[in-house]
Structure 1
């Protein structure tokens, strides 16, 4: 009887803990653990965003002359970057922040307006500026994943609006990776995506690198 009761109480505890634990909490704890084990370097380039960064585990090999801190966490949305902004920004003293995020906001809620996603980005951008008024802040355009073709029109609108916003900001750039991922006919190259048609291949990252390099501090 005691054993059954113990199992039941453990189940109840686990259930309520799961209900109270916000999404991506464990990812953030993992980042904290990494920072405790190895103090993050100063004047690094800080990557913040979703799975396109998370899966770029060998990003430092693509930029061997740069010091990079990768804080991408898979499935994250701009609303998550805002929720965890303190944890994502406070531990670091970067010379540059590069963001890739926004694609999952639409995937999570296709009814979102493009302007709502842009507003989420602006909120995060302003949070960065509160802590780092003068560093370089760049935004990588949303890629046109074949598995999310139904969202492309809104993605294009988001990219256009964020590009316009960044153009008006000091020490800020919009990095367009959409063109380099197209073929000679202007079609998205599906061969740059892995089987899920969402995440990109090493060749895709090589093309991203070719576009990003001129912007890297």
Structure 2
């Protein structure tokens, strides 16, 4: 092989290696924080072997607001559901496990809600990082289920994180634009429904921690989500 040809092959292989690294690296830096949820994911995998889920179910995944939704099956009826919320997970946690959460199932649509990436801590992500992770989740689901609808529930304004609301709102705005730019991808607007006349979060819709919804808050969520599903799935 001629030297010039060898160099071309070398640079081609180098480019492939770089691209592969870039494709696999977005989650590498989150691995140490994500593995704390390994037991929760293993519990989901046990359920996958013991429970029978309908192929037209709506798969809900994300953080504690999904996990704590005790009446989700009743509230979402007649839509059957697969509930896969875990702990106080972040978007990087969901991204890290998304294949193990979603790939074992047949379903009608996926609904994602994650609200812990921006909370006023030193470890907070930037809005751009959060969007990139949602983009990864979206792409990963699309790789196996190209035609399935994907929904992003708007991050809820809360009194406990009100100082961070401008950044959180930026995530919501960017996620909405992303959803509008992709086929079969929908943004479920909810934030305004949780604000009182003074423009601040309505405390009566939240638990004592002013972070998690109470049952009155879940009623609002239920209607907003079902209205969107009704409008886009039927």
TM-score, length of structure 2 as denominator length: 0.80
Over aligned residue pairs, what C-alpha RMSD do you find?
A: 1.8
Q: Kindly indicate whether residue 127 of structure 2 is the aligned counterpart of residue 133 of structure 1.
A: no
Structure 1's 70 and 109: CA in aligned 2 closer, same or farther, altered over 3 A? farther
Q: Kindly indicate whether residue 87 of structure 2 is the aligned counterpart of residue 87 of structure 1.
A: no
1:69 aligned partner: 82
* Count of residues in Structure 1 that have an aligned counterpart in Structure 2: 198
CA contact (8 A) 2:59 2:84 kept: yes
Bigger relative contact order (CA 8 A; separation at least 6)? 1
Q: Any idea what SS the aligned residue of 1:105 has?
A: coil
Q: Kindly indicate whether residue 109 of structure 2 is the aligned counterpart of residue 96 of structure 1.
A: yes
CA contact (8 A) 2:111 2:153 kept: yes
Q: Any idea what SS the aligned residue of 1:162 has?
A: helix
Q: 1:200 aligns with which of 213, 217, 223?
A: 213
CA contact (8 A) 2:99 2:141 kept: no
Where does the alignment leave 5 or more consecutive residues of structure 2 unmatched? 1-31
Structure 1's 20 and 74: CA in aligned 2 closer, same or farther, altered over 3 A? closer
CA contact (8 A) 1:166 1:172 kept: yes
In the alignment, the residues of structure 1 paired with residue 49 and residue 197 of structure 2 have an alpha-carbon distance, to the nearest angstrom, of: 47
Where does the alignment leave 5 or more consecutive residues of structure 1 unmatched? 1-18
2:157 aligned partner: 144
